[in-house]
Structure 1
Amino acid sequence: MATDPVSAQRKLAHIHLGVDGGAEKFFVRLSRALAKRGVEQIAFIRHDRTWRDELAEHCDVRELKFSRSHFKRHFVRWGIARDIRHFGAGATLGWMSPASKWLPKPGPDMRTFLRLGDFPDGFHTYGNVQNLIGNTPEIIRQAVEAGWPQERAHVISNFVDPLPDTLAPASRAQFDTPDDATVLIALGRFVERKRFDLLIKALARLPETVHAWLIGDGDLQEDMRRLARDLGVENRTHFLGWQRDPSPFLKAADILVCPTDDEPLGNVVLEGWNAGLPVVATASPGPSWLIEHGKTGLLSECGDTDGLARHLLQLLENPAEAERLVTASAARLNEGYSEDGICAQYETLIWNRGG
Structure 2
Amino acid sequence: MDFHALLDLPLGAPIVLYQGGLAAGRGLDVLVAATAGFPEGVHTVLVGSGRQRDELGRQAEELGLADRVHFIPAVLPHELPAYTAGASVGVIPYQPVSDNNFMALPNKVFEYTGVGLPFAASDLPELRRIAEEAGCATVYGPFDPHGLATAVTRILDPAEHETYRRSAANFGQRNTWENERLILVSEAKRIAGWE
Q: TM-score, normalised on structure 1?
A: 0.48
Cα distance between partner residues in 1 of 2:94 and 2:106:
9
Of 165, 187, 191, which aligns to 1:354?
A: 191
Of 148, 158, 162, which aligns to 1:308?
A: 148
Q: Give the residue type in structure 1 aligned to 2:135.
A: K
Question: How far does residue 341 in structure 1 lie from its aligned partner after superposition?
Answer: 2.2
SS across alignment from 2:67: helix
**Structure 1: 5+ residue stretches without partners:** 1-168
Match of 2:27 in 1: 195
Over the aligned positions, Cα root-mean-square deviation in angstroms equals: 2.0
The answer on 1:250 being equivalent to 2:90 is: no
Question: How far does residue 240 in structure 1 lie from its aligned partner after superposition?
Answer: 0.3
SS across alignment from 1:228: helix
Match of 1:11 in 2: none
CA deviations on 1:102-131 (whole Å, 9 max, x unpaired) are xxxxxxxxxxxxxxxxxxxxxxxxxxxxxx
- Whether contact under 8 Å (1:259, 1:282) holds in the other structure is yes
Match of 2:167 in 1: 328
Q: TM-score, normalised on structure 2?
A: 0.85
Of 132, 135, 151, which aligns to 1:295?
A: 135
Question: How far does residue 289 in structure 1 lie from its aligned partner after superposition?
Answer: 3.1
With a CA cutoff of 8 Å and minimum separation of 6, indicate the structure with the bigger relative contact order: 2
SS across alignment from 1:319: coil
Of 157, 175, 182, which aligns to 1:344?
A: 182
CA deviations on 1:42-61 (whole Å, 9 max, x unpaired) are xxxxxxxxxxxxxxxxxxxx
Cα distance between partner residues in 1 of 2:170 and 2:134:
15
**Structure 2: 5+ residue stretches without partners:** none
The answer on 1:271 being equivalent to 2:111 is: yes
Aligned residues: 184
Counterparts in 2 of 1:1-355, with a 5 A limit?
169-244=1-76, 245-262=79-96, 263=101, 264-292=104-132, 295-316=135-156, 318-335=157-174, 337-350=175-188, 352=189, 354=191
Cα distance between partner residues in 1 of 2:110 and 2:134:
16
Cα distance between partner residues in 2 of 1:206 and 1:215:
19
Cα distance between partner residues in 2 of 1:215 and 1:186:
6
SS across alignment from 2:51: coil
SS across alignment from 2:127: helix
Which structure is higher in helix share?
2
Question: How far does residue 293 in structure 1 lie from its aligned partner after superposition?
Answer: 7.2
- Whether contact under 8 Å (2:25, 2:95) holds in the other structure is yes
Cα distance between partner residues in 1 of 2:143 and 2:60:
17
- State the percentage of identical aligned residues: 26
Greater Cα radius of gyration, structure 1 or 2: 1
Cα distance between partner residues in 2 of 1:283 and 1:213:
21
Match of 1:5 in 2: none
Cα distance between partner residues in 2 of 1:301 and 1:314:
15
Q: Give the residue type in structure 2 aligned to 1:215.
A: V
Cα distance between partner residues in 1 of 2:60 and 2:5:
20
SS across alignment from 1:229: helix
Question: How far does residue 345 in structure 1 lie from its aligned partner after superposition?
Answer: 2.4
CA gap of 1:294–1:274, structure 2 versus 1, over 3 A, is closer
Cα distance between partner residues in 2 of 1:294 and 1:338:
15
Cα distance between partner residues in 2 of 1:265 and 1:216:
19
SS across alignment from 1:199: helix
Question: How far does residue 222 in structure 1 lie from its aligned partner after superposition?
Answer: 0.7
CA deviations on 1:323-354 (whole Å, 9 max, x unpaired) are 1112123223333x13332111232344x252
Cα distance between partner residues in 2 of 1:221 and 1:277:
24
SS across alignment from 1:268: helix
Cα distance between partner residues in 2 of 1:288 and 1:305:
18
CA gap of 1:171–1:203, structure 2 versus 1, over 3 A, is closer
